[in-house]
Amino acid sequence: MRFQAAVLRSYDSPFTVEDVTLRTEPDDGEILVEIAGAGMCRTDLAVRRSAGRSPLPAVLGHEGAGVVVRTGGGPDTALDVGDHVVLSFDSCGHCRNCLGAAPAYCDSFASLNLFGGRQEEPPRHTDAAGKALAPRWFGQSSFAEYALVPARNAVRVDPALPLELLGPLGCGFLTGAGAVLNTFGAGPGDTLAVLGAGAVGLAAVMAATAAGALTVAVDRHPQRLALAERFGAIPLPAGTAGLPERIRRLTGGGAQYALDTTASAPLINTALQALRPTGSLGLVARLHTALSLEPGTLDRGRGIRHICEGDAVPGLLIPRLTRLWQAGRFPFDQLIRTYPLADINEAERDCDAGRVVKPVLLPERKSR
């Protein structure tokens, strides 16, 4: 099967939209999905800084949503042709953390999703010249018209939903909302500080507001603060003098929870200083340097931990988020701007410049 996909050929080149060939007979436990839309996530762009660890050339994209067009056999394939699905991250299904309903902490998470994928012999994707492309990214490679994915990563959704916009529920929005709803278990009257109001931070704001919690959002982009305010947060510019004290005052003595999406050491220290005793800080962005903490920031029962994929079981959290959206309480569609897949480089530039919160790429079906 031949169709168009966006291929990243080197760490510093633009994406090229080109014909690729996919072996399309799904194996046991796999499905073939016609992609309706795929979100662009920071992790796609971080491949450029992966120092060669993520193999290229590759079809990236790991926030896909689409329609099942073919199914393989096997016990995992409880999906039928025509089902609408959101695709989430890959996990092995049989390690200790997968068995313990914590698939984001799968022993094989990094290798399956980021650094090479499952063994593919022969390779599933080849380019127009017949050369092998890297194994699928995050079990998907959804910057394409079609993706062949493990059925265990696909979550069936209501066909009445706007399918082309749902992909980011599989990673970015899941990460922010899951941190609030799963990791923190925030409820009415709880207090939360969100550092960095991008796709993950704004999803956290929306989930906190839906849960009845009070949120203070910090960012350096005024447009993003305006969005945070629209979704119920108190906005604070990142450069505000005495930021920790301001947050403590706004949250009645310190936030119970803080979520950092920036990986900035000064902001992580700010977040800890803004917590009340016993408060917890969650980190979702990968640190690129050593992190030094100011004396006293962890005193009095304060804690800090990394949160991967919002501690989510996608099959549980994604339907919860779509129900909230249907009730008007998780308006994630307001964060999205759509682009034809052919404009993927423009989407990347807009994302880097902070002009768009969540680009979603729509394949054009010229090649069918």
Q: What does the binding site for Zn ion look like in residue numbers (CB under 5 A)?
A: 41, 43, 91-92, 95, 98, 106, 171
Q: Which is nearer to Zn ion, 106 or 207 (CB)?
A: 106
Q: What is residue 232's DSSP assignment? A: T
Q: Which is nearer to Zn ion, 90 or 127 (CB)?
A: 90
Q: Least distance (Å) from Zn ion to the CB of residue 43?
A: 4
Minimum distance of Zn ion from residue 112's CB (angstroms): 8
CB of 39 to Zn ion, least distance (A): 8
Judged by beta carbon, residue 98 or residue 147, the one nearer Zn ion is 98
> CA geometry: angle at 136 spanning 134 and 142, to 5°?
120
Supply the minimum distance, in Å, between the C-beta of residue 211 and Zn ion: 23
Residue 342's CB is within 10 A of a number of other CB atoms, namely: 16
Q: Which is nearer to Zn ion, 85 or 98 (CB)?
A: 98
Pairing of β 2-8 and β 358-362: unpaired
Within 13 Å and on the Cβ side, how many CA atoms surround 54?
24
Smaller CB separation from Zn ion, 28 or 80: 28
Strand positions, DSSP E, 154-296: 154-157, 191-195, 214-219, 234-237, 255-260, 275-283
Encoded amino acid at 341, one letter: L
User: 4 or 43, CB closer to Zn ion?
Assistant: 43
Range 43-52, long-range pairs (CB < 8 A, 24+ positions):
43/114, 43/138, 43/171, 44/137, 44/143, 45/348, 45/351, 45/352, 46/286, 47/8, 47/11, 48/11, 48/12, 49/11, 50/11, 50/114, 50/115, 52/11
Q: CA 107 → CA 201, 298, 317, distances in Å?
A: 26, 29, 21
Query: Which C-beta is closer to Zn ion: that of 32 or that of 203?
Result: 203
Closest approach of Zn ion to the CB of residue 190, in Å: 26
Find the shortest distance in angstroms from Cβ 109 to Zn ion: 7
Min CB(202)–Zn ion separation in Å:
15
| Cα diameter, the chain | 63
Q: Whole-angstrom Cα distance, residue 103 to residue 133?
A: 26
Contact present, 263 and 245 (Cβ < 8 Å): no
For residue 317, what are its two tokens? 């959290």
